[in-house]
Amino acid sequence: MSYIVPIGPYHPALEEPVHARLTTDGEEITSAEIFIGYNHRGIEKLAQQKNFIQNLVMVERVCGICSHSHALTYALTVESIAKMKVPRRGQYIRVIIAELERLHSHYLWIGIALHIIGHDSLFMHTWNDRELIMDMLEEISGNRVNYGMVMIGGSRRDIDDEKRVHLLEMLNRIEASMIRLKDFLLTDKTVALRTQNVGILTTEDAIRIGANGPHARASNVPVDARKDSPYCCYDEFEFEKAVWPSCDVFSRVVIRVLENFESIKIIRQALENLPEGKVDGKINLGMKMPSVPAGEYMTRIEAPRGQLCYKVVTNGTDYGQRVSIHVPTFRNAPTVPVMLQGNSVADAGLIIASIDPCFSCMDR
């Protein structure tokens, strides 16, 4: 007998509001629909009423997990319109914060996945290790969330030599914790049983629907804006695109493990090679209210969840005419019904969570 099983929009298993409607035959999901739009805050409309500095503060609050990514993309877009050249030291500091943010986002996702699977002990260990990353972000910026490290024209705060050495020591501890976590995640039988051959998104479906970020790379689609269209000196760092072919939830676990090691590699290179000198030693252009001519530009970066795009239209005043935000979850959410089909109702929560959704970003 066929039943309709609703999940959300408000549900104990969901951190944010989304509604999935499952059509089932017994325990098997035969089809599914997903509905969005429960968290609208009107940020794009508000951006038309605020100046560039106010907008920079506001877009950082689109999302708490990838706040730096939003501020960075907005700043890069405005800087491109104004033809500003950010000092290399400032760009390196932006990269350090971006990769630390990617690390803490992936640790958070791994912890939530372990909680859904039922490994609550390892969930707590994972989030305890994540505290090291949050401590590094706090040491650099003074904040654990919404770091305020980006200003139009560069980075707001510098990293002195003493702090740099201490951050490298902390990074070694994070790498050691990641090695332990990798050994468990890739060999544990319970993790394998709950994730392998569950929520399959084939390479063809990922390309057809337009998946991006770690979700696409877990379906063997090698897309990464850091490599495909480098920004903030990413072309100066040695790292690899993490791609995995199994196309299931287990593949999404593996991708985050591999990407954490690549992020650690990038942060270490940036800290060890921070540009110095009379010119390159600067971290920003020293501007308060930037002078931005009329124009428009679109920028994309690789946020923790995937490709994040900002399009900004300016009219020559201190107030932007239009800010359009395109987030990775909007591209990845349509893959959920495809992944749910043929799976058990018991796996629905894990499959939805496996895209690492941010409905706060998506609904804005």
Average pLDDT, the chain: 89
CA angle 277, 283, 285 (to 5 degrees): 110
What's the whole-model pTM score?
A: 0.93
pLDDT band at residue 64 using 50, 70 and 90 as cut-offs: confident
Structure tokens at 223: 């897309």
Q: Coil, helix or strand for 345? A: helix
Per-residue pLDDT at 265 exceeds 90: yes
Res 58 pLDDT > 80: yes
Spatial distance between the Cα atoms of 313 and 319, rounded to a whole number of angstroms: 10
Pairwise CA distance, residues 15 & 26, whole Å:
27
Residue 277 has pLDDT above 60, yes or no: no
CATH top-level class of 52-363: mainly alpha
User: Are 213 and 302 spatial neighbours (Cβ–Cβ below 8 Å)?
Assistant: yes
* Residue 279 pLDDT: 54
Yes or no: say if 217 and 206 are a contact pair by the CB < 8 Å rule. Answer: no
| CA–CA distances in Å: residue 138 to residues 18, 133, 148, 196 | 31, 9, 11, 37
**Which has more confidence, 182 or 10?**
182
Distance (Å, rounded) from C-alpha 18 to C-alpha 235?
37
| pLDDT, position 242 | 92
pLDDT tens profile 189-203: 888 888 899 889 999
Structure tokens at 274: 């921070």
Q: Which helix (H) or strand (E) holds 223?
A: none
Where is pLDDT greater, at 18 or 216? 216
CA 328, 331, 332, 334 dihedral sign is: positive
Q: Is the pLDDT of residue 297 over 90?
A: yes
**Angle of CA points 336, 340, 342, to nearest 5°:** 150
> What angle, rounded to 10 degrees, do the helices at 67-82 and 52-59 form?
150
CA distances from 238 to 108, 254, 274, 275 (A): 25, 20, 15, 16
| Mean pLDDT computed over 218-227 | 93
DSSP symbol at 208: H
By the 8 A CB rule, do 363 and 36 touch? yes
pLDDT more than 90, % of the chain: 57
pLDDT at 7: 81
Structure confidence by residue, pLDDT tens digits, 153-168: 999 999 988 999 999 9
14 pLDDT band, cuts 50/70/90, is low
If you search the block for the tokens 């893959």, which residue do you land on?
335
Whether pLDDT at 357 is above 90 = no
Mean pLDDT, range 40-50, rounded to an integer: 89
- The pLDDT assigned to 352 comes to 87
Asked if 363 contacts 19 with a C-beta cutoff of 8 angstroms, the reply is: no
DSSP state letter for 245: S
The count of C-alpha atoms lying within 13 angstroms of the C-alpha of 292, restricted to the half-sphere facing its C-beta, is: 28
What is the per-residue pLDDT for 346? 85
The per-residue pLDDT for range 234-246, each reduced to its tens digit, is 999 999 999 999 9
Predicted local confidence at residue 12, as pLDDT: 67
